[in-house]
A and B are shown apart, each in its own frame.
Chain A
């Protein structure tokens, strides 16, 4: 297996990773538009922040020759990995504090509450 074969394998792997990352980014952005309330939209945005970003940046890692580039890409992934849940937490808490959950969440509780009582007895 010569260096050219390795290049082809790395290119194919990079293609696959970046294509799936772009798919997740587009799907998450579509979910941000289509989902009905703020909390489900946060779920879709989390899809963009973790899988979309992560897969595209890992796909870029396979294309770089220098080691420092890989380190920088890893730093970006690591940073977004920690800041995205923090942002979502702050936003969800602010939305809850503003009384945003009143529209959709009670329906879920009504369907779940009898099942829990059956399981308990």
Chain B
């Protein structure tokens, strides 16, 4: 149990450090990067908390959170780059993301 608590505290501290960059980041890309890192660390935090409470079902939630985190980050990046989440008509040659 001690080991899970220590890992959870370390992940929480890392999330706090990443959130500092998310709040103070000079550009929007710094903020996206920091929020993506925070979400990835949240996946681990949910998994570790599931082990801490002896409820491994939390791993399903962690897996879902990883999926949502990826989709959200790519969507926000695409919106920042193209100004739309669909197909941008004037930048069609630059690909999807």
Contact = CB atoms under 8 A, between A and B. Distances in A.
Contacts of B97: 86, 89-90, 93
Interface stretch (A1-9, A40-48, A109-117): A40-48
Contacts of A19: 6
B66 A80 contact: yes
A17 B53 CA distance: 20
Size band of the interface chain A makes with B = 35 or more
B84 interface: no
Contacts of B48: 56, 60
The interface residues of chain B, by DSSP majority, are classed as helix
Interface centre among B33, B43, B62 (most CB of A within 10 A): B33
A84 B66 CA distance: 10
Nearest to B13: A26
Given A14-B3, A15-B3, A45 B66 contact: no
A14 B4 CA distance: 10
Contact of A76 (B21, B41, B66, B78): B66
Contacts of B74: 86-87, 90
Contacts of A98: 27, 29, 81
Interface in A58-83: 59-60, 63-64, 66, 69, 72-73, 75-76, 79-80, 83
A41 B62 CA distance: 25
Nearest to A87: B73
B67 A79 contact: yes
Nearest to A44: B37
Which 3 interchain pairs have the tightest Cβ spacing?
A: A22-B10, A29-B17, A29-B14
Interface of A: 11, 14-15, 18-19, 21-23, 25-26, 28-30, 32-33, 38, 41-42, 45, 48-49, 52-53, 56-57, 59-60, 63-64, 66, 69, 72-73, 75-76, 79-80, 83-84, 86-87, 89-91, 93-95, 97-98, 100
9 contacts: A32-B21, A60-B47, A72-B56, A72-B63, A76-B43, A90-B74, A91-B32, A91-B77, A94-B78
